[in-house]
Amino acid sequence: MSQSAPQKALSATDIRARKGAEPLVCLTAYTTPVAKIADTHCDLLLVGDSVGMVLHGLHSTLGVTMEMMILHGQATVRGAERALVVVDMPFGSYEEGPAQAFRNAARLMAETGAGAVKLEGGTHVADTIRFLTARGIPVMAHVGLTPQAVNAIGGYRVQGRGADAERIRADARAVAEAGAFSVVLEKVPAALADAITAEIAIPTVGIGASAGCDGQILVIDDMLGLFDAFKPKFVKRYAHLATDASAAIAAYASEVRARTFPAAEHMFDDEGAGS
């Protein structure tokens, strides 16, 4: 019986080509086991700087380091076979300008094996995106609510309402024209997300945007019910694993205290039975 050829990993070019086609399925991933599970179903796995809040207990993404992103990027790449793995560039790793951005983006890709990087911002990072893409580094952009700028924009508020809509549209146009292969639209009005999706030539990936985007992304711990520090309106809980985990740990604790675990089948004798 012949074996089917292994499935080709998706590239940034493949994602770019999905504009207007079947919606892109995207999730964050930070570890090998989770990446293996998500890879079966997803087109793109983002090693988001949200890892700082979700796994490291930070209050925002601002304290995330290059070393953290490399560590989690390596782990995620080990678990992904089909999905494109994109690694966030952390705060402070690209804002100085294109040369700094290139050094850090090249390091992220070389040390993790990821297929692309993501950075936040619109018109003010267009030159940086252009510089990176001209040198062989695929870039995913991120406009609207940009968490790394939370102190400057006054919190995690919806962006692009009313007269502010044109700013977000200009940001999306700028990153598309600069060579980004896709753009995340975060926490913007649905009508604005739809207008941007129709207007630019690269796929839009919504998070708190619109079902009309070319794809969707969520933080995986949010949608699995593992991260309960806060729940944005745009998050749908597809499971409640924190509740299940707590019940399982409680059962384990009860059995340990009652000395019913380990039972005979979990222990070894001195006659060589079991291994």
Instruction: Render 206-228 in DSSP notation, one character per residue.
Output: EESS-TTSSEEEE-HHHHTT---
Nearest residue to 139 via CA among 126, 151, 155: 126
Determine the Cα–Cα distance for residues 197 and 220; give it in Å rounded to an integer: 24
What pLDDT is attached to residue 272?
65
| Rounded average pLDDT over 87-112 | 98
pLDDT surpasses 80 at 157: yes
Poorest-confidence range of 3-17, 163-177, 233-247?
3-17
**Confidence bin at 228 (pLDDT 50/70/90):** confident
CA-based radius of gyration for the chain: 21
pLDDT at 6: 53
Q: Tens of pLDDT along 162-217?
A: 999 999 999 999 999 999 999 999 999 999 999 999 999 999 999 999 999 999 99
Cβ neighbours of residue 134 under 8 Å, at least 6 residues apart?
179
Is residue 154 very low, low, confident or very high in pLDDT (cuts 50, 70, 90)? confident
Tokens 């794809």, located at residue:
215
Q: What is the rounded average pLDDT for all residues in the chain?
A: 94
118 is in an annotated binding site: yes
Token pair of 198 as six digits? 């129709």
Q: 5 falls in which pLDDT band (50, 70, 90)?
A: very low
pLDDT of residue 79: 98
Mean pLDDT of 53-81: 97
In 3D space, the residue among 11, 4, 12, 56 whose CA is nearest the CA of residue 30 turns out to be 56
- Residues marked active site are found at 186
pLDDT digit string, tens, across residues 41-52: 999 999 999 999
pLDDT for residue 16: 98
Confidence of residue 275 (pLDDT cuts 50, 70, 90): low
Q: Could you tell me which residues come within 8 angstroms of residue 80 by beta carbon, excluding any fewer than 6 positions away?
A: 9, 29, 35, 36, 39, 45
Question: In the predicted model, is pLDDT for residue 255 greater than 90?
Answer: yes
Tokens 């292994």, residue located? 6
Structural domains of the chain, ranges and CATH numbers in brackets: 12-239 (3.20.20.60)
Percent of the chain with pLDDT over 70: 96
